[in-house]
Chain A
């Protein structure tokens, strides 16, 4: 294999909302099968950038491609089938129980029989350690459990790229670690690409191939590379302090 295949490409992207630019001149590529981390302080625009990548909000300027396709009305359905998303809040459908939530994409987009759908959804819930919460409603489970159900839902259609917005926030270390294992396993078994927003240094060390870091005050991407490199050899004081949790003289 020569050049790795880029699955997501951003070129001079301005990210933000119609009345507010949040990040400018963002350029990077994410390769197929990579686990790519979006880093940065709270409010720097990680979720905003992710919402551009999953086609919810149009970028303000620049180019953004997924699987060589841009987000537009024509490509929309095709691209939606390639991605799975876990939102920062979980975004489970409150009117359905956990099993129903995971089964919904299977119901809408596969021709599986009911029994097969239940089986598959139960297996996904098992993967995130929630088989016993299948019949609970989203408002009857904890925040961390909601996120795990949302991850199971994002995995349901075996998408090529999975976006996770702070998957391990609110999880205990054991569950968070199991989640990291799940991500690594899926990457190994299916070659799935992951784009993950996370602050957990432990988890970054364990799973990340590369990371991009953003800064709110400079409204820009300030670092890109393997997390190990960033932590050890970055000259940028912000990047440094991020990896040392704000203790500058370690």
Chain B
């Protein structure tokens, strides 16, 4: 009996969480339309602030991680390719890998950790302090007021961070190949020839989508914060974890689509 009721409790909790998530997605969609119809009511200032925090604040870490990623990838693959005397192809590997996959997804994980968590903590604290209630009783839609600016900020910040992450990754690769004796000019030539316009644009579009997901999951976790002692902590954790999972699932689905459409 205890076992069954435990399962039942878990199941209802899960079901309620899914219901919350669906309700939030609906509210966010409505709020997006409302924002679209009355753009003068959009909180541009809040959006700019969130953008500054996400983009400017995340820039150094995106560059740092990207550089290290390029360094490590180049180093590992160069060791293998050197056996065939074609270490120059590290450039192709880096360019294709970074622009299409690694750049957007690594940056999205960074954004989920930095900004997704921050969104959840900010909105969660507001929820616990009754600020969200105060907005509601003023007749202001909290989703429109708090979520829209942050989500838009995340969407705008992602491609910028991604570009910096990718470029610094290429730089890291260049450094390793330079040490191995490959001339930089040859390296860049390979980078340019292997990275098509489509791969770059597709990668950036993907990064915008990831920004949307991270922003929505982070804000959603904040809006569903419970007013317990660990409420905000739980919300932040689920924002980060949920954001990363959402990005991973979306990336997997996109990969399947691309494969079946031959892109």
Roughly how many angstroms separate A95 CA and B50 CA in the complex, as a whole number?
A: 12
Residues facing B in A103-125 (CB within 8 A) are 104-105, 108-109
Contact A91 B140 (CB under 8 A): no
Given the complex, which residues of A lie within 8 Å of B140, measured CB to CB? 108
Number of interface residues of A (CB under 8 A): 22
List residues of A (52-88) whose CB comes within 8 Å of B's CBs: 54-56, 76-77, 80-81, 83, 85, 87-88
What's the nearest-Cβ distance from chain A to residue B85, in Å?
A: 59
Q: Once the chains bind, are A89 and B129 in contact (CB under 8 Å)?
A: yes
Q: Could you tell me if B139 and A109 are in contact, using CB atoms closer than 8 angstroms?
A: yes
Residue B139 contacts which of A81, A89, A95 (CB distance < 8 angstroms)?
A: A81
0/1 interface trace, chain B 120-145, chain A, CB 8 Å (1 if under) = 00000110011101101111100000
Q: Quick check: A105 and B138 within 8 Å, CB to CB?
A: yes
Interface contact A87-B130, CB-CB below 8 Å: yes
**Do residues A87 and B133 form an inter-chain contact, with CB atoms below 8 A?**
yes
| A204 contacts B by Cβ under 8 Å | no
Complex contact B134–A77 (CB within 8 A): no
Taking the closest CB of chain A, its distance from the CB of B234, in whole angstroms, is 19
**Majority SS at the chain B contact face:** helix
Do B134 and A87 touch (CB < 8 A)? yes
Q: Which residues of B contact A55 (CB under 8 A)?
A: 136-137
Segment 27-65 of A: residues with Cβ below 8 Å from B = 51, 54-56
Is A92's beta carbon under 8 Å from chain B? yes
Which of chain A's residues have a CB closer than 8 A to the CB of B126? 93-94
CA A83 – CA B41 in complex, angstroms? Answer: 22
Q: Using an 8 Å CB-CB cutoff, how does the interface string of B94-115 with A read, 1 for contact, 0 for none?
A: 0000000000000000000000
Nearest to B130 among chain A residues (CB) is: A91
Chain B min CB distance to A167 (Å): 15
Partner of B131, one of A56, A80, A91: A91
B5 to chain A, nearest CB (A): 15
Q: Is the interface of A mostly helix, strand, loop or mixed?
A: loop
Contact B138 A91 (CB under 8 A): no
Q: Mark B30-41, 1 if CB is under 8 A from A, else 0.
A: 000000000001
Q: Hey, which chain B residues are within 8 Å of A80, CB to CB?
A: 136-139
Most buried by A among B41, B49, B133: B133
Alpha-carbon distance A85/B137, docked complex (angstroms): 7
A142 CA to B63 CA, complexed, in Å: 42
Of all chain B residues, the one with the shortest Cβ separation from A55 is: B137
Interface string of B140-163 (1 = CB under 8 A from A): 100000000000000000000000
Assess whether A91 is in contact with B133, with CB atoms less than 8 Å apart.
yes
Contacting residues, chain B, for A83 (C-beta < 8 A): 137
B94 to chain A, nearest CB (A): 41
* CB of B139, distance to nearest CB on chain A (Å): 3
Q: Which residues of A contact B134 (CB under 8 A)?
A: 85, 87, 91, 93
- Does A92 lie within 8 Å of B131, measured CB to CB? yes
Q: Which 6 A-B pairs have the closest CB atoms?
A: A80-B139, A91-B130, A91-B134, A87-B130, A85-B137, A54-B137
Chain B residues close to A by CB (< 8 Å)? 41, 46, 49, 125-126, 129-131, 133-134, 136-140
Other A-B pairs beyond A87-B134, A94-B131, 13, CB < 8 Å: A55-B137, A56-B133, A56-B137, A77-B139, A80-B139, A89-B129, A91-B131, A91-B133, A91-B134, A93-B126, A95-B46, A95-B49, A104-B138
Which residues of chain A have a CB within 8 Å of any CB of chain B?
Answer: 51, 54-56, 76-77, 80-81, 83, 85, 87-89, 91-95, 104-105, 108-109
> What are 29 A-B residue pairs whose CB atoms fall within 8 Å in the complex?
A51-B133, A55-B137, A56-B133, A56-B136, A56-B137, A76-B139, A77-B139, A80-B136, A80-B137, A80-B138, A83-B137, A85-B134, A87-B130, A88-B130, A89-B129, A89-B130, A91-B129, A91-B130, A91-B131, A91-B133, A93-B126, A93-B131, A93-B134, A94-B126, A94-B129, A95-B46, A95-B49, A105-B138, A108-B139
